[in-house]
């Protein structure tokens, strides 16, 4: 566990960030820079913790980053445009935030003497076929004409940028690639979130609206035409060896906790 560290988390108000804060807030001072467009921290009991400072801002704001580039031991860079719907709807914004935003954060901290710069990437960098992949596996993206892959391209480019900063400037950079993360407080997109919400509602909302409106409209189901990842299986040997990492929550338990959180109505 980290102790007595000053940690800056970009995009820390999101789903994953909120859980990282929860695990570190007791022993460390944490500053979060976030636009709060997807705010999972508000569903926690540590939102007003004395060790937590919430700053509303954008990673494209160089002045804001410069203000917080001093007296920081570690940066956890999570700020990004994510989720297939968001990416397809805002592909240029995705490139701007994910790549240029990463560049601006790297620039702000390249001479700050950080102990570690942790970058959150994605399993999307492996393309549509991610079968038993590890850190040395080839990255692959889809066709340029499909905005679905804008996210993956921006993320793998940001990884290349970060590693070059490590080589040229000695910035202690490391990147992680989460695979289909899910659980309570998932306020953004995600396959499990979508399945859970649909299962809980059983599409009954549409039925209620038709009933209330006195309509005779039919409910139809259409196939999703977006290209998607076909296989997504990670190989975690390196994380086991270097970090002592191992899954602690099996799928059944994880799904039970996730379903219970959404059923509680807290995130609605």
**Active site (catalytic) residues:** 151
The C-alpha atoms of residue 11 and residue 102 are separated, in whole angstroms, by 11
The C-alpha atoms of residue 101 and residue 18 are separated, in whole angstroms, by 20
The two structure tokens encoding residue 174: 């490391």
The two structure tokens encoding residue 89: 């709807």
The two structure tokens encoding residue 201: 């509602």
The two structure tokens encoding residue 25: 């807030």
Contacts of 83 (CB under 8 A, 6+ apart): 188, 189, 190
Contacts of 226 (CB under 8 A, 6+ apart): 84, 88, 148
| Sign of the alpha-carbon torsion through 60, 61, 63, 66 | negative
Give yes or no for a contact between 98 and 125, defined as CB atoms under 8 angstroms apart.
Answer: no
Buried b (16+ CB within 10 A) or exposed e, 195-220: ebeeeeeeeeeeeeeeeeeeeeeeee
Classify 190 in phi/psi space as left (phi over 0), alpha (psi -120 to 50) or beta.
left
The C-alpha atoms of residue 123 and residue 179 are separated, in whole angstroms, by 5
């Amino acid at each position: 566990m980290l102790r007595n560290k000053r940690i800056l988390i970009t995009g820390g108000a999101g789903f994953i960030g909120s859980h990282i804060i929860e695990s570190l807030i007791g022993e460390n001072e944490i500053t979060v820079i976030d636009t709060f467009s997807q705010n999972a921290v508000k569903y926690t009991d540590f939102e007003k913790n004395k060790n937590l400072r919430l700053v509303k801002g954008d990673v494209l704001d160089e002045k804001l980053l410069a203000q917080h580039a001093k007296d920081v031991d570690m940066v956890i860079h999570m700020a990004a445009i994510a989720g297939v719907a968001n990416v397809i709807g805002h592909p240029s914004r995705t490139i701007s935030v994910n790549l240029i935003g990463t560049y601006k954060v790297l620039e702000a901290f390249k001479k700050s003497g950080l102990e570690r710069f942790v970058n959150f990437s994605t399993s999307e960098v492996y393309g549509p076929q991610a079968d038993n992949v590890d850190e040395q596996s080839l990255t692959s993206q889809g066709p340029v004409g499909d905005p679905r892959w804008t996210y993956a391209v921006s993320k793998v480019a940001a990884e290349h940028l970060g590693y070059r900063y490590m080589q040229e400037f000695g910035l202690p950079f490391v990147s992680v690639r989460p695979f289909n993360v899910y659980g309570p407080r998932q306020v953004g997109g995600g396959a499990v979130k979508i399945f859970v919400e649909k299962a809980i509602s059983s599409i009954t909302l549409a039925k209620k609206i038709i009933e209330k409106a006195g309509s005779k409209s039919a409910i139809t189901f259409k196939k999703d035409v977006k290209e998607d990842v076909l296989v997504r299986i990670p190989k975690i040997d390196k994380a086991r060896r270097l970090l002592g990492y191992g899954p602690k929550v099996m799928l059944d338990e994880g799904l039970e906790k996730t379903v219970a959180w959404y059923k509680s109505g807290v995130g609605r």
